[in-house]
Structure 1
Amino acid sequence: MEIRHLDFEHAARCAELEQLLFPEDNPWPRDIFVVEFAQPNNLYLGVFDGDDLLAYGGISQLGPRHDPEFEIHTIGVDPEHRRKGLGRLLMQQLMAIADNLDGEVFLEVGTDNEAAIAMYEAFDFHRIGERKNYYQPSGADAYTMKRAARSER
């Protein structure tokens, strides 16, 4: 397994995984990933087995470099490769980026996604709010979670 930066050539596979993972909630198409990858403040990483993309995740840096905050845009693991630590591996890398600049991190997660919530809590995320009908078109609710900056933990 290897972690690599994602770029335009990986957008179609990310969209394919989105369709598998989030069919009820407006999965991102290839073009959205292309736009996301092009943004200078975004970083997308993938876990690869050879040339096969098994998991992906993206983080965005917001605010000035001297006082940044970060937002996890998405994270997903191929259903055939879940429960192997791939999501945790991606989170370690994404959180290292935020910790390096001492920024707090925010994300949204479905209130029924117990596995993801448990993983985020293991990375010191705490629920700070709930967004009703956040995911569309399903109308599923989401928790907003926050991880304090390294200097505040």
Structure 2
Amino acid sequence: MTEPVKRYSVPARFLHWIVAAFVFVAWPAGAIIKFVKEDVKLTFYMVHESLGFLILWLMLARLVVRLFVKPPPHLPMPALQRGVADTVHWSLYAALIIQPILGFLATNAWGFPFSLFGQWPIWSPIGKEPGIAPLLSSAHLVLGWTILVLFVAHFGGVLYHHVIRRDETLERML
């Protein structure tokens, strides 16, 4: 009889997949905003910014869960592979926390107050700051592409483990 799969906790799995779903909507919405017609552009901004704001709080919740609920041990793998996996994992955590903060601050620095889904105004520590707005927007853009690269690395690792190694890596998060 085989031993059952040691899975991540229910909160860890739930938060992982809800963040993934939100990123799969927020990232492409942000990437195409400059190409959409003016009559829907504000809707794209609202969805992109609101999901980004929720991603920030969900990632902070993920961090709390990660710190207080021990994840299952790594499956056996070479030390270099484990190091790459940990680096990608923690880089995604950092990027998905920093990215919404940069976007939020950039929005406000350009002089646009933020309201969650257009309904609930969110206070910002900065107001209109045209001197730093381009810097914040550029950092947000670069980090957005970095998140895509990290996602591709993460997904590539999942495929490698599931298709080639045929181990339980994917099942642990399902």
TM-score by length of 1: 0.29
For the pair shown, the structure with the greater C-alpha radius of gyration is: 2
Q: Which structure: greater helix fraction?
A: 2
TM-score by length of 2: 0.27
